[in-house]
Every structure is written in structure tokens, then in C-alpha cells.
């Protein structure tokens, strides 16, 4: 059985159309309505979707619920797409075919693969920066790490248990796909940006997703992210300490500035080195348990 799963928050102007256009391509459509204050749930049900409601827990929490539901329904394939009409449901077969004919576990609909999508410039740049950061943490490269238009095989549905509540779930899932050794492919999709106005909103979202992406990637590579800067700071601390001692012993001059900088640098360096070792051990432990 193939499922389409749609996270939706206040999408009453588009949800019906999205559900109706999605239904012909799958066996069931499930909408996770996140405590919308408009008629999203009612309209989705009327259009033929099964509606799961939760209480404003965020995009990631909705995706996690939808994975859970797909496991309950024993789905062979789950396609996720947005409820705001930005994705074209007629492209669902493209994603499903990539799974069935090429035997991959996860297919990502990418708006940048053949660059037909005219995403607003700042958003394009933001997504590309986040995608580069995310690619650093995975053993594959994608062009659109933030796409919500994806398809998952049964193996992927069973293996992935997202925990991020917000938009960073897209990155979290990619890292989990990589850790579990699942295979990934991208297909080009068209994303509509008509009537798009949420600039400020998307900048703050973008920044928080980038910070979370760096968090994930830094946990994956703790020695590079914390260990190397830590060692650099330790060495800087030792050099500045040397300068201080040299001035004190040879000229009886006390440079408080270099004393303070040396202590700070040394302490921060030590903290970073210890952090990197702890994270490295924790990452290994978690990998062993998975
Ligand atoms: N369940 C749930 N869905 C959400 C939440 N926030 C957004 N969504 C849905 O997730 C999909 C993508 O959200 P958008 O805000 O459009 O994110 P985006 O497409 O990356 O950003 P834009 O380019 O601004 O549209 C839409 O279907 C939203 O209705 C939420 O908190 N809970
Ligand atoms: Mg959108």
C-alpha cells in the first residue's frame, strides 16, 4: 500500500486541492493537522483524506507522527508533500517510480536539480548553504536537503524515527538515512513560489535550521568541529602564556592582557578538546547501539 502524507498548518486555501490531486496517485492520503485554527482539518476530511490531529507541535513532530502512522498501516511507500500547494501532486509517480524501478530507499524531490524552479534568491542561497552543511554530515550529496517532497521505502519507514520538532527534521532525517546506510536518489521537481510573502519568517526559520544542521554535523564530526579549534586555542594559550612569562622573567613586566588572554584561551581550548572527546565517544556508543 502506498501512502501520501501531508503535514498541514492553517492551509485551508490549498489543502482540498492538494488532497484531491494526490488521491489518484496513492491508496490513502493522510493529513497531519497541527492544531490549525482554520478549517484545514474539516476540508481535508471532506476532500477524502484521513486526518490526524495534534496540538501545534511543529512540522517535525507532524513528520514523526506520519512515519509512525505509515508503520501502523504497513505502507510499502510513503510520499510526503506540503499542504500549501507548492508541490505538484502529479509529480508523485516520479518519486514512487524511482523507488520501485531503481530500488532506492529514499527519493528526494529536488527543486535545484535542473533548476526550473525560480525560488527567491535569498531563499535559494539559504537552502544551498544549509544543504552544503548537511552534505558534510552524510555519506552522499544532495542538492535540496530541505525539500519536503520525498518518498520513503518500507525499509526507510521502519528505520527512521525522527525526533526534531521543527523544520530541522529534514536534515535530521538525511543524517539518519546516512547512518543507517540507506540509499538515496533525487528527482527534479517543480516548486511553486506564487503568492509567497513569508520573507522574515523564512529567514528566522533558515537560521535556526542552519544552526541545527551544524549541531547535527558537528556531532557527526566532533574531532574536526571541536577538537581542532580546541587544540588551536590550547596552543594559542601556551604561546601567550610564554609571552607573559618571558616579559615577566626578563623585564619584570606584568602584561595582564596577555595573562588573561592566555588563561581564557587555554581554558576554552581545554573545554573544546574535552567536549570533542566526549562527543566522539558518545557518537560511537550510539552508533554501536543502533
Ligand atoms: N503539521 C504541521 N505542519 C506544518 C507546520 N508548519 C508548517 N507546516 C506544513 O508544512 C509544509 C511546509 O511548510 P512551509 O511553511 O510551507 O515551509 P516551506 O515550504 O519550507 O517554506 P515557504 O517557502 O515559506 O513556503 C506546509 O504544508 C505547512 O502547512 C507545523 O507546525 N505543523
Ligand atoms: Mg511552503
Average pLDDT on 2-31 reads 97
Quote the pLDDT of residue 251: 86
**What's the pLDDT score for residue 234?**
95
The mean pLDDT value for 178-203 works out to: 84
Going by the DSSP 8-state scheme, the letter that residue 87 receives in this structure is B
Kindly give the distance from the C-alpha atom of residue 126 to the centroid of ligand 2, in angstroms, as a whole number: 15
Determine the pLDDT at residue 199.
Answer: 60
Q: Helices 199-220 and 256-289: crossing angle, nearest 10°?
A: 80
Mean pLDDT of 157-179: 95
Picking from 73-82, 139-148, 279-288, which range would have the lowest pLDDT averaged per residue?
Answer: 279-288
* CA atoms of 97 and 91, how far apart (whole Å): 10
* 230 within 8 A of 272, measured Cβ to Cβ: yes
Q: What is the DSSP string of 96-162?
A: HHHHHHH--SEEEEESSSS------HHHHHHHHHHHHHHHHTSSS--S-TT---EEEEHHHHHH---
Return mean pLDDT, the chain.
92
Which pLDDT band holds residue 285 (cuts at 50, 70, 90)? confident
- The Cα diameter of the chain in Å comes to 86
Number of neighbours of residue 248 by Cβ within 10 angstroms: 14
Mean pLDDT confidence for 185-205:
80
Ligand number, closest to the Cα atom of 202: 1
**Residue 196 in this model has a pLDDT that exceeds 80:** no
- Does pLDDT of 203 surpass 60? yes
Q: Which three cell numbers stand for residue 248?
A: 615577566
Length of the chain, please? Answer: 290
Distance CA 173, CA 160 (A): 7
Tell me phi and psi for residue 28, to 5 degrees: -145, 145
pLDDT of residue 256: 86
Segment 71-100 mean pLDDT: 97
Residues contacting ligand 1 via CB (< 6 Å): 7-9, 11, 32, 34, 58-59, 62, 82-84, 86, 148, 198, 202
CA 256 from centroid of its chain's CA atoms: 45
Q: Mutation test of ligand 1: which of 10, 32, 34, 59 has the most ligand atoms closer than 8 Å to its C-beta? A: 59
pTM, 2 dp: 0.85
Which of the residue ranges 105-119, 143-157, 274-288 has the most confident prediction, judged by mean pLDDT?
143-157
pLDDT at 288 over 80: no
Q: Beta-strand (E) ranges in the chain?
A: 2-8, 28-33, 50-53, 77-80, 106-110, 150-153, 184-188
Alpha carbons 130 and 207: distance in angstroms, whole number: 9
Please tell me the predicted confidence (pLDDT) of residue 133. 94
Span 63-83, average pLDDT: 97
Q: How far is the CA of 55 from the centre of ligand 2 (A)?
A: 20
Which strand ranges, in their side-by-side order, compose the sheet holding 150-153?
A: 50-53, 28-33, 2-8, 77-80, 150-153, 106-110, 184-188
How many alpha carbons fall within 13 Å on the CB side of residue 14?
Answer: 20
The Å distance, Cα 82 to ligand 2 centre, comes to 7
Is residue 267 very low, low, confident or very high in pLDDT (cuts 50, 70, 90)? very high
Amino acid at each position: 500500500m502506498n501512502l501520501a502524507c501531508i503535514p498541514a498548518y492553517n492551509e485551508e486555501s490549498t489543502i482540498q486541492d492538494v488532497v484531491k490531486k494526490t488521491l489518484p496517485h496513492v491508496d490513502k492520503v493522510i493529513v497531519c493537522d497541527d492544531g490549525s485554527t482554520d478549517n484545514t482539518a474539516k476540508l481535508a476530511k471532506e476532500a477524502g483524506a484521513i486526518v490526524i490531529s495534534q496540538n501545534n507541535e511543529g512540522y517535525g513532530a507532524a513528520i514523526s507522527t506520519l512515519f509512525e502512522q505509515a508503520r501502523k498501516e504497513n505502507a510499502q511507500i510513503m510520499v510526503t508533500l506540503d499542504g500549501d500547494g507548492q508541490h505538484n501532486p502529479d509529480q508523485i509517480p516520479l518519486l514512487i517510480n524511482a523507488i520501485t524501478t531503481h530500488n532506492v530507499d529514499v527519493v528526494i524531490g529536488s527543486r535545484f536539480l535542473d533548476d526550473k524552479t525560480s525560488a527567491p534568491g535569498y531563499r535559494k542561497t539559504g537552502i544551498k548553504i544549509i544543504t552544503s552543511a548537511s552534505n558534510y554530515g552524510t555519506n552522499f550529496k544532495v542538492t535540496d536537503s530541505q525539500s519536503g517532497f520525498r518518498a520513503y521505502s518500507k525499509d526507510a519507514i521502519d528505520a527512521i524515527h525522527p525526533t526534531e520538532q521543527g523544520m530541522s527534521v529534514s536534515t535530521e532525517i538525511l543524517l539518519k538515512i546516512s547512518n543507517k546506510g540507506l540509499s538515496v536518489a533525487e528527482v527534479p521537481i517543480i516548486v511553486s513560489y506564487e503568492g509567497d510573502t513569508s520573507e522574515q519568517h523564512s529567514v528566522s526559520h533558515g537560521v535556526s535550521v542552519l544552526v541545527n544542521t551544524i549541531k547535527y554535523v558537528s556531532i557527526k564530526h566532533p574531532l574536526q568541529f571541536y577538537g581542532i579549534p580546541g587544540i588551536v586555542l590550547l596552543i594559542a594559550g601556551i604561546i601567550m602564556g610564554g609571552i607573559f612569562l618571558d616579559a615577566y622573567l626578563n623585564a619584570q613586566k606584568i602584561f595582564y592582557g596577555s595573562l588573561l588572554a592566555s588563561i581564557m584561551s587555554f581554558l576554552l581550548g581545554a573545554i573544546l578538546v574535552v567536549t570533542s572527546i566526549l562527543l566522539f565517544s558518545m557518537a560511537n556508543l550510539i552508533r554501536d547501539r543502533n
